[in-house]
Structure 1
C-alpha cells in the first residue's frame, strides 16, 4: 500500500512538472495543441502532427485547417528537421517529466499492402504454408506499428484475403497447417473492430464454411489460451452477422460441450464473455437446430450454472448470462429446470435495477415467461422475494415498451396473492426456503 501511494505521488509530481513547462508554439500541433510526435507538412506549407491531420482528412475535409485553402494534394511530407528539434528539446527537459519521443516509423502505403495481399492470395492457391506464414507475419507487423497502418491494411481488403486463406488451409488439414491458421486468426483479431459488421459476403462465406468452423471449434478444444481467445472472437463476430453461420455452427456436435466447459471452468474473462455471446446467438435462432441445442444446454445444467455465474460476476458477464437464461426459458425443459432451482426468483429479482438496463430487461422477461403458465406457488414465491415492489419501482423510473407490458402483466398476475403475504427485500434471500 505504501509503495502504491509513492508511485501515485511520483506520477502526480511528474504531471505537474509537465504542466508547468512551457512548450514552444512551433512544437505544438495547430489542431490538438499538443506536442507533436510525428510532424508532417502539407502542400499548404503548414506542419501538423500526423495523427491529427489524418483524422481531419478522413473526416471528409479537403482544406488546410490553418489557412483554409483547398489542398492541392493530400501528401504528408515528414518534417525531419522539426522532429529532431522536438526530440532534442524533450531530452533537454527530461527533468521536467517530458517522456522520450521515439523516431516514428514510416506508415505503410496502399501499394505495399496490395502487393503483399496479392502474393498472399497466390501462396494460398498453391497451399504454400511457409510463404503464407511469412506474408501474414508481415501484415501483422505493420498492424502492430500503428492504428493508421491497421486501417490501411483493412481498407485494402485484407479481411477477405485472410478469410479465404483460412478456409483453404483449414480444408487442407487442421493439424498440418496449424501454425499458419493460428497466425491468420491472430491478425484478424484486430481487423474486426476496425470495420465491425462490414464483412463482405465472400469473407463471410469463407470464414463461415464448415471447414473453417470445424477448425475454430478444434482450436477451442486443442489450442493454447491465445488461440482459444482468437477463435472465440472470430466466432462471436461471425455469428453476429448472419443467421446461416449460426445454424452451421449449431450443427457441429461438440460445440455445445466446448462452450459449456468455458462457462463451467472459466480460463479468462474475455473467453467467458465471448462464450456467452456465442451461446446467446445459438439459443436465439428460430431454426429447429436451435431447439435441439437449447435442450442440450439445459441437460448439461446450464440453467443452474448461469444463476451461479450471475451472482458473482461483473456487469458485462451478468448481462450476457441473464440474456442466455432468458432465451433458455423459451423452452419447456429450461423453465422446468428454472422452477427446480431455489435461486431462480431471488437472483432474477435482485438483478432488476441493480446491474444495467439490459440485465433488467432479461430478468423481467425471464420472470414473465416463468409466470405465464403460472401456479399459485410460483407467484407467491415471487412476492416473497420482493418482486412486486421492484416492478412498481421499475414502472416509476421508466423502461422500454416491451418490458413495461410484461411488468404490467406480472403485477396483475401477482395482485390477487398479495393479501396476507409479507414481502421481504430482494437482497435478503440467502436463507430463504421455497414455499412449496
Structure 2
C-alpha cells in the first residue's frame, strides 16, 4: 500500500517577505509602512538607502520596527501546520542596539586605563562576538562615536607592551579588521596615534601568529591607502621588510593580496621603491608570477614590478633574477588586459633604461620581442598599451627586426 503523502500547505501571502519571497522569521517594518524579514531588509539597506517597494528614502540610522503582531501570527500558523512539514518559527533574539554597543565601548575605554586586563579582555571578546554576528552589527559598531578610536588606542598600547597583552592586542586587531572603515576615519586615527598605529602593525607582522598577521596586513592595506603622501614618504623600512616576508610565508591569499596592495600603493612616494627593493620585493614578485596564481594577484604583482622598475635598483633586481624578464613577458596576453599593460610598461622601462647588449639579446631569446610584436598588432589591447609596445620595438629595431628568434611573419610586420 502506498504511503499517504501530506498535502502541500500554501503559505499566506502576507507572511512572505517582499524581498526573498520566503516566510518571514523576524518581520520588521520600515517608516514607509512596508514589512520585510529583518535579514533581507538589513542586507538591502547596506547597499541601497530606499524602501525596496515604495522607493522612499530610508535614513542611514533608521532602526526597523519589530512587527510583533505579525510574528506571533506566523508562529501560531507554523505551529498549527507543523504536522504538514512547516518549520516552527522561534522567537528571534533581540538585535543589539546602539546604546549597548556604546556601553561596551565605554567599558573597553574604562578598563584599558586600569590594571584589569581580564576585564578588558572580556569586554573585547563580547564586542568581538557582536561584530561577528552580522554585517549590520559591524556597521553599527563603526558608526558609534569614538568606537574605532578606543579600539585603535587599545591595540597600539597592547602591541607595545609585555607578552601578557598579546591576547588583548589580538582581540582589538580582529575587531578593527572586520570593520569597514572610511578613509576619513582611518586618516583621523593615524593622526591621533601619531603613526604609532603603523609601528603596532609592524610588530604584529613580526609575530608567528598567522591569523593576527593576516588581520594586520588587511589593516595596513587600508591605513596606507588613507595616508597622505607626506606620511607615506616616511614609512619605516621595516614595513617593506615585513610585507615582503608576509608574501614569502604565504599566510593566506587575502594577506598576500593585501601585501601586494601595500607595495603598489606606497612605492610611488619618496625612497619607498628603494626600500622595497632592498627588502627583496622584486624576486618575490617574480616568484608570484611563476607560480601562476589568481588573476588579481598577477595584476597586482605586475603593478608592483612596474612601480619598482621606475628606479635603477628595481630594474637591476629584475635583471638579476634568472627568469625575471622572461616571466614578465610570458604573462602578457595570458592573464588580462590590465596585466598585459603592466607587463609592457615593465619591459619598456627595462628596454629604455637598462638595455645592455646582453639584455637586448635576452629579450629576443626569451620570446619577449615576439610578445611585444603580438601586443603591438593586437586589436584587443588598448591603444596606449599597443603604442608602448611599438615604442619599445622601435627603440631596438636594429637588433630585433632581423633576429632569428623572431618569427618571419612578425619580422614582416615589425613596426617602423
Normalising by structure 2, report the TM-score: 0.80
C-alpha distance in 1 between matches for 2:57 and 2:167: 51
1:388 matches 2:367:
no
1:120 matches 2:108:
yes
C-alpha distance in 2 between matches for 1:260 and 1:67: 48
Q: Which of residues 125, 149, 162 is equivalent to 2:151?
A: 162
Deviations for 1:69-128, whole angstroms, at most 9, x for unmatched residues? 999x9651243314424754895565xxx8886653211111222222233223334464
1:369 matches 2:355:
no
Q: How big is the shift at 1:244?
A: 5.1
Equivalent in the alignment of 1:353: 333
Distance 1:292 1:51, change over 3 A: same
Q: Which of residues 5, 13, 24 is equivalent to 1:36?
A: 24
Residue 397 of structure 1: SS of its match in structure 2? coil
C-alpha distance in 2 between matches for 1:89 and 1:227: 49
Q: How big is the shift at 1:257?
A: 3.7
Equivalent in the alignment of 2:191: 205
CA contact (8 A) 1:27 1:86 kept: no
Normalising by structure 1, report the TM-score: 0.76
1:310 matches 2:299:
no
Provide structure 1 residue ranges, at least 5 long, that are not aligned to the other structure: 1-19, 426-436
Q: Which of residues 394, 418, 421 is equivalent to 2:401?
A: 418
Aligned residues: 388
Deviations for 1:158-202, whole angstroms, at most 9, x for unmatched residues? 22221122233345x1423211111000111110xx334342543
Equivalent in the alignment of 2:175: 187
Q: Which of residues 210, 225, 240 is equivalent to 1:240?
A: 225
Q: How big is the shift at 1:317?
A: 2.1
Q: Which of residues 207, 224, 227 is equivalent to 1:222?
A: 207
Equivalent in the alignment of 1:47: 35
Equivalent in the alignment of 2:15: 27
C-alpha distance in 1 between matches for 2:382 and 2:67: 53
C-alpha distance in 1 between matches for 2:386 and 2:225: 27
Equivalent in the alignment of 1:398: 381
Distance 1:25 1:160, change over 3 A: same
C-alpha distance in 1 between matches for 2:223 and 2:347: 31
C-alpha distance in 2 between matches for 1:31 and 1:154: 26
CA contact (8 A) 2:75 2:90 kept: no
Cα RMSD for the two superposed structures:
3.5
Distance 1:87 1:272, change over 3 A: farther
User: What pairs up with 1:65-214 in 2 under 5 angstroms?
Assistant: 65=53, 75-79=64-68, 80-85=71-76, 88=79, 92=83, 103-126=91-114, 128-157=116-145, 158-171=147-160, 173-191=161-179, 194-206=180-192, 209-210=195-196, 212-214=197-199
C-alpha distance in 2 between matches for 1:65 and 1:167: 46
C-alpha distance in 2 between matches for 1:247 and 1:205: 15
Residue 24 of structure 2: SS of its match in structure 1? coil
